[in-house]
Amino acid sequence: MTLPEGEDRAKPAAEWPSWASPLAATAAAAGVAGTLYALATGGDEAWWMLLVNFLFWGGIAQGTLVWSAIFRTAQATWTPALNRLGQATLLFLPVSLITYALLWSGRHHWLTWLHPEHAVPHKAWWLNEPFFLGRDLAILVALMVLSAWLVGTYARGEKQTDAEAIRRAQFRLNRIAIATVILYAFGYSILAFDLIMSLEPHWYSSLLGGYYFVSTLYLAMAALILMALAFRGPLGLTPWLGPRRLRDMGNLMLGFALLTTGFFFAQYLTIWYGNLPEETSFIIRRAYTAPWWPVGAAVLALGYLGPFLARCFPVVKESPRAIGTVAIIALAALWTERWLLVVPSLAPDRLAGLGLIYWTIPVGMAGLLALVVMSALRRHPGVSPLDTALKLSEGTKL
């Protein structure tokens, strides 16, 4: 089905509340100031929490863009509004890059293998500062460039009126999207090995990379659901984000919750049946020993099993408010999961990083992300004709 005449580009029906932008700006300014103060005075824990929030908020920004690339790769006909929302996080990627540079300046606070007592000589070819910095920066920059190329190609293609120029733009979009998805899977696997696994340099897991990039897509879909609920009315996107589309998004979030759970269980099962004691320390610390096992249980219940159980009830499938609530719970659980991945490697005997000053870090990043998204959606509020050109079949209901 196609939308009624003249609705290929949804137009803003109303601005979002007047307090939204000032609130986001205040959160960003206060958060950045608090973050710098925490890094200057908070010791190692401030740097640990900066890493946790880099993984979480940077994952949301890159993940939503990758979802846009995935939908384009799949030639999805029902996602024009999601593509626009996903691309709105582009300008947060430079913030992520700056955050990584800041993390690198304080690497001695969190990179354990830099200290002689934790050095692993037989891994020195991989765990050395020049190679570590070079490959991670290359991944982050390459993903940012590809993402910008994707969004820029959309912007240029939308201005074309010549049929042949539009066809070339569509073909170019497909190639860029495929490259983005492939690089994301490879690059985020490497980032998982570097920024999570290397914190315990004697531990290794070939599954961690897959777990990390899949869980980041789960995280990003939860964020997309909340963005859809927040902006569909003000931007006139409700025709593209009706109950069925929200249900589809909920199903995708559920699917990636189950896939993330499957990767976790595969890691656990491999260690168990393979009798690999050298790989058990990471899981034992988070699932069986105090003080971290309650945190691990909460993540398992709220982030993995909770969405599955919630989606078993029809009222959750059909209610935007219920789907939004599940998405909020999933985001909270996944932030806790990032904390659980990082901090026990650095402070195994205490729940570190919960001081009030450290909460300025997520507040600042949330404010910056909100500002970036609102700014992008003001400039490009409607769906792209390059996406609506992928027509829905007759009789399909939005």
The answer to whether residues 267 and 205 touch, using CB atoms and an 8 Å cutoff, is yes
Q: Which residue has the higher pLDDT, 50 or 321?
A: 50
At 80, phi and psi to the nearest 5? Answer: -55, -45
The string of DSSP letters for 37-59 reads HHHHHSTHHHHHHHHHHHHHHHH
Reported residue count of the chain is 398
Output the six-digit token pair for 16. Answer: 């979002």
For residue 13, the model assigns a pLDDT of 40
Residue 2 has pLDDT above 60, yes or no: no
The string of DSSP letters for 245-276 reads HHHHHHHHHHHHHHHHHHHHHHHHHHHHHHT-
Q: Report the candidate in 259, 242, 128, 142 with the shortest Cα–Cα distance to residue 194.
A: 128
- What is the C-alpha to C-alpha distance for residues 23 and 102, in angstroms, rounded to an integer? 25
How is the chain split into domains, by residue range? 20-375
Q: Report the candidate in 67, 57, 252 with the shortest Cα–Cα distance to residue 150.
A: 67
For residue 80, the model assigns a pLDDT of 92
For residue 149, the model assigns a pLDDT of 97
Q: Which residue has the higher pLDDT, 176 or 380?
A: 176
Residue 239 has pLDDT above 50, yes or no: yes
Output the six-digit token pair for 209. Answer: 């990379």
Q: Report the candidate in 266, 276, 142 with the shortest Cα–Cα distance to residue 207.
A: 266
CB-hemisphere CA count at 13 Å for 129?
A: 9
- What is the C-alpha to C-alpha distance for residues 21 and 16, in angstroms, rounded to an integer? 9
For tokens 């990471």, the residue is 282
What pTM, to 2 d.p., does this model score? 0.92
Q: For 283-302, what is the mean pLDDT?
A: 89
Q: For 256-282, what is the mean pLDDT?
A: 80
pLDDT, tens digit, 9 for 90 and up, residues 331-373: 999 999 999 999 999 999 999 999 999 999 999 999 999 999 9
Q: CA-CA distances (angstroms) from residue 139 to 59, 72, 180, 187?
A: 13, 22, 11, 6
Q: For 176-193, what is the mean pLDDT?
A: 97
Residue 12 has pLDDT above 60, yes or no: no
What number of other Cβ atoms are within 10 A of residue 304's Cβ?
22
Lowest mean pLDDT among 75-89, 235-249, 350-364: 235-249
Banded pLDDT at 285 (limits 50, 70, 90):
confident
